[in-house]
Amino acid sequence: MKLDVDFCGVKFKNPLVLASGVLGVTGASLKFVVENGAGGVTTKSIWREGHQGHPNPVIIANDHFMLNAVGLPDAGIEKAHIEIGEYMKNKPAPLIANIVEARIADFAEVAEKVSALNPDIIEVNISCPNVEDEFGKPFACSTHDAAAVTRAVRAKTKLPIVIKLSPNVLNIAEIAKACVDAGADGICAINTVGPGLLIDLETREPILANKVGGVSGPAIKPLSLKAVYDIHKALPKVPIIGTGGIISGEDALEMIMVGATLIGVGTAVYYRGVECFQKMADEMMAWGEKRGVKSLDELRGVAHAGAYSKKFQNYS
């Protein structure tokens, strides 16, 4: 089965893309991920100026989920210039530059500066749930605000832009449509769920220094699948990066069946090591070859009503 895909006119050797915030700190670490089988990589969230993030402890995980309140630390656009520049030397796979800011005008400025570094795609993070104490509700929680950020970024770059949305809303498809109407080329769904909280029974206090953090990992897969399903149903021609709880090749195939083109892989690196990308690609290949599927295009969106019975009656 062929795993190569086209996303916003960019060619990926397979749909498995490193999600923002995981190993995307340096040019060398991004290349290391590609060496281990990723079809593409996403940088950590880039701020116009440096951002400190939260104090430790910032992450706790178990077999079912991860809770993190890293707080989007970053050294700013000048450091990004160095690391992206390093990655772009003999670039091994497409690069998605993730950007974040606290004000709409600042999103526009950082988008313009990042565009000058020539990434393949810009991903706009308007949905982090664990910085509300610092900046208030994420832009992704408002149709109006999400569209406003999209318009501001669109005005400053000719690169494809993807808006990363939050699951913590009543109608994610409605917000996705507002972003597309405002100029987005694609959607990334979902960011972490929550925020959530865990208690240390001995200290009788929250475990994370920030008290709350975003929930990711296997437990949120049903939520991410439903979000992508809803977005694809409302916007069937809009490419989607589906992310959230994708740990195995089978998980990735489920995400493609609900409508995703690329698969964001994050906490799988914790559960299966950086080798997870090649392992997941191999698992996808094995599944497809057993069933006579020739390409991922045959599977995209088939979970929507009637698609399987009409198009794939010979597969079992």
| Strand ranges in the chain using DSSP code E only, listed in sequence order | 5-7, 10-12, 16-18, 41-42, 59-61, 66-68, 95-99, 121-125, 161-164, 186-189, 193-197, 199-200, 205-206, 212-216, 240-243, 262-265
Residue of 166, 157, 222 whose CA lies nearest to 8: 157
The span from the CA of 77 to the CA of 305, in Å, is 45
Distance, in Å, from the CA atom of 276 to the CA atom of 252, rounded to the nearest integer, reads 12
Distance CA 202, CA 210 (A): 18
Containing H/E element for 239? none
Whether 128 is a known active-site residue: answer yes
Which single residue is written with the structure tokens 């923002």? 20
Catalytic residue from among 128, 141, 179, 188: 128
Q: What spatial distance separates the first Cα and last Cα of the chain, rounded to whole Å?
A: 15
- How is residue 53 annotated by DSSP? -
Cis amide bond preceding 55, omega within 30: no
The residues annotated as belonging to the active site are 128
